[in-house]
Amino acid sequence: MASRQLNQLNGPGLGSRFYKAFVTLSAELLQTLRSYYKHSSVQLTALLSSDTHSTSLSALSHTPSLYSEVVWTTLAVCKCSCCKTWSKGERRPTAGQQWTDQHSVIMYSFSFLLVLACLQVCVPFVFGAPTQCPSQCHCHGDLQHVICDSVGLKKIPRISEATRLLNMQRNNLGNLPTGGFSEMKGLISLHLQHCQIREVASQAFKGLKKLIYLYLSNNEISTIKPGAFDDLTELTYLYLDGNQITSLSKGIFSPMINLFILQLDDNKLRELQPGTFTGTSDLRWLYMSGNELSSIQPGSLDEVENLAILTLDRNKLSTYPLMAISKLRVVEELNLSKNPLTLIPDHAFRSFGRYMEKLHLNDMGLEKFSTAAFEGVTALKSLHLENNKLKSLPSSLEFGTLQNITLFNNPWSCNCQIANLRKWMDTSRHRPDAVCASPGSQKGKQIRDSSAFTRCKAKMNRARKGTRL
């Protein structure tokens, strides 16, 4: 009965085609396995040398131990845990034994489908994945590191799934097409700097679900299509600096739920809109220096309220982006230098003042701080104010935690408004360069050497007494 049911599969129809495909793939797989594992047997040789389309079914149906060898070898190579779990319960037939009962037919059919499923996973790995280093490249550690730096590549080479690092710097790739890296599922680090890339297509990095480092610096990227970063759920470090990016679409980074560092320096970004950083709530370091930002819309940074470092220097901000920045909570370093800002308003840093340790406001043409500009700032250690037009500092600036301050090239008015600065200088080991521009009697003198502050303490005491009265 079993023999009749098995032989029915040899007739025309879907079962026959599936079976022939199974036998063909099994034969090819076992040939590869035999050479790789030095595995051989008389029965296996007989099967592989037989007419696949006419006699293989008969050989398997009458020699169940040979069929079992196909099943067990396939399961072993595929390393399919679920397959192994099932196969442990199967009674392996011995040499010469035949299937003669209905149960065996059912088990045969089930195991046949099981092997097909394993082959679907296993065959592409065994037969399709590259096992040699791409020409022009050099490889290390059994293809774990593939180095194709400066070798004239114009398209993405085929790389083994075993590869963890691919370095393709300094080639001429032009564009990154959809699915160009889809076979490289094991990649952790991908280097594409200096590759003259102009466009990143939708789903360009499809399949790279293990990627952590992506370097796209110093290309000519002007367009990043929506969905370009799909599948990059593990990406932690993204470098896009030194490109021609003018805008970022809403949600472009949303697949990157683990993004920690985003480098966007030296592009041509003109503005930030709400939704740009949706999905990147773990982002901690955001670099946007050297762009053309003239405004940052309120809400643009709401999704990244845990930023620790924010650099906005070398942009075109003429107004302090108070509404956009006020949602940030734990900024430790803020760089606004080399923007055409003339005024820092009240409460500019209050939302993150107890965390901010470094503040860069140099080379701006800055003229004035509002009185409460530094209100809530209690942890500041480093303050850069050089190359501005400042005459005084606000009373809200506390010097208790300050360790370093740069003040040169400002027209300081040496009077009691900056007496706290002079007091800090007298007690600090640092001696910053800061020259008086007024009054006339003090012009050209260093603040730390000026005699203009000798009467400030008495004036302050009189002022306090007047307040108590």
What one-letter code names the amino acid at 356?
Answer: M
Q: Which residue has the higher pLDDT, 404 or 33?
A: 404
Q: 136-179, pLDDT tens digit by residue?
A: 999 988 899 999 999 999 999 999 899 999 999 999 999 999 99
pLDDT of residue 244: 97
Q: How far is CA 93 from CA 46, 106, 109, 263, in A?
A: 18, 15, 15, 62
Q: What is the pTM of this model?
A: 0.72
**Angle formed by the axes of helices 14-37 and 42-49, to 10°?**
130
Mean per-residue pLDDT, 178-184 = 94
pLDDT of residue 130: 61
Q: 7-34, pLDDT tens digit by residue?
A: 443 444 444 444 454 445 455 544 544 4
Mean per-residue pLDDT, 82-90 = 42
Could you please report the per-residue DSSP string of 360-387?
A: E--SS---EE-TTTTTT-----EEE--S
pLDDT greater than 70 at residue 105: no
Q: 347-379, pLDDT tens digit by residue?
A: 999 999 999 999 999 999 999 999 999 999 999
Q: How many angstroms separate the CA atoms of 46 and 75, rounded?
A: 21
Q: Which residue has the higher pLDDT, 183 or 35?
A: 183
Q: Which residue has the higher pLDDT, 179 or 114?
A: 179
Q: 467 falls in which pLDDT band (50, 70, 90)?
A: very low
Average pLDDT, the chain: 80
pLDDT of residue 371: 97
pLDDT of residue 350: 97
pLDDT of residue 191: 98
Could you please report the per-residue DSSP string of 321-341?
A: -HHHHTT----SEEE-TTS--
Q: 422-447, pLDDT tens digit by residue?
A: 999 999 988 899 999 999 999 999 99
pLDDT of residue 431: 87
pLDDT of residue 36: 40
Q: 458 falls in which pLDDT band (50, 70, 90)?
A: low
pLDDT greater than 70 at residue 404: yes
pLDDT of residue 243: 98
**230 CB neighbour count, 10 Å cutoff:** 17
3-state helix, strand, coil in the chain (%, to 5): 30, 15, 60
The segment with the largest mean pLDDT, out of 17-21, 72-76, 118-122, 279-283, is 279-283
Name the percent of the chain lying above pLDDT 70.
Answer: 69
